[in-house]
Every structure is written in C-alpha cells, then in structure tokens.
Amino acid sequence: MVQQKENKTVAEVKEKEMVITRLLNAPRELVWKVWTEPDHLKNWWGPEGFTNTISEMNVVPGGEWDLIMHGPDGKDYKNQSTYTNVIPQEKLEFDHVSHPKFKVTVTFEEQGNKTLLTWRMKFETTELLNNTVNVFKADIGLTQNVDKLETYLSKLS
C-alpha cells in the first residue's frame, strides 16, 4: 500500500522492490535535465543533509555514474552505477553496482506541464531490501530524495 505524508507519497516497500511515485510541478524536459546533468543532480541527490561529488556521469547505455555522497555524519559513501537503458525524457534504467546492489527504473510521464515520476529500486532478494531499509533507512532516504528534487525544481521554475 502506498503511504501518504503531508499530501506526498512516500516510498512503498514490498517483497524485493521499493517504489515511489510523485507528481512534480515541472515540465518533463526540466525534470529529465535535472536527473541527467551533474551540475543539477549534485544539488538535490540524496537524503536530507547529504552533499555530492560526481566524478563521472555518462548517461548512455553502458555509461558509468560514479559519485560520492557526503553524509551529515562526516562519512563518505561511494556509489557506482551503470546505465542499462536510456530513453530521453521517458526512462532511465541503471544498475547500482556498489553495495547494496539493486536495479533502478525511473520513468518520466508528461501530464500537461507536470511530470509523473515513478522511481523503482529492485533488489535481488527480499532480505537484501529489508537489510537496506533497516540499516540505511533507504525508504526514508528515497522519500527525502524526491522531496529535495521537488524543492530544487521549484527554485528553477
């Protein structure tokens, strides 16, 4: 079941998958741009309190995305992903190849001058998903990530 908090959807966790859907008050072209350009993405990516250093972001099938998330706890969290499918302004798919491993599918559905964003993270096992939620609070982090995206988009509009 999808939960609501302050009129916003929050991440739904079920079986091997975590999903969040949000109607963003921004055109699809802009949402795509802030997802695929490092100069934008570094400003909103990650849960509250995190900042980012992106060393590579090649948004093409087979392209690498390497970033370090700098946590409010002073720790650095290295992340490496490989893009598997890129359909401009419609869909991004990538494998998060650093631990924990999972597959991500993000779709961008145009709804007038707004964009329906659906972000799916699929893990190999339910146990891995549950561990990621329990240890890293990934469900809360995913919701905060989309909140930060929404705030960033509002500043650009």
What are the residue boundaries of the structural domains of the chain, listed by start? Answer: 14-156
Helix (H) / strand (E) containing 77: strand 76-87
pLDDT at residue 10, as a whole number: 77
- The one-digit pLDDT tens for each residue of the chain (157 residues) are 344 455 577 789 988 999 999 999 999 999 999 999 999 999 999 999 999 999 999 999 999 999 999 999 999 999 999 999 999 999 999 999 999 999 999 999 999 999 999 999 999 999 999 999 999 899 999 999 999 999 999 999 7
Assign domain 14-156 to its CATH superfamily: START domain (3.30.530.20)
User: Token match 């809360």: residue?
Assistant: 140
**The two three-digit tokens of residue 11, written as one number:** 């991440």
pLDDT at residue 99, as a whole number: 92
Rg of the chain taking only CA atoms, in angstroms: 15
Helix (H) / strand (E) containing 52: strand 51-57
pLDDT at residue 101, as a whole number: 95
| 3-state SS class at 62 | coil
pLDDT at residue 5, as a whole number: 52
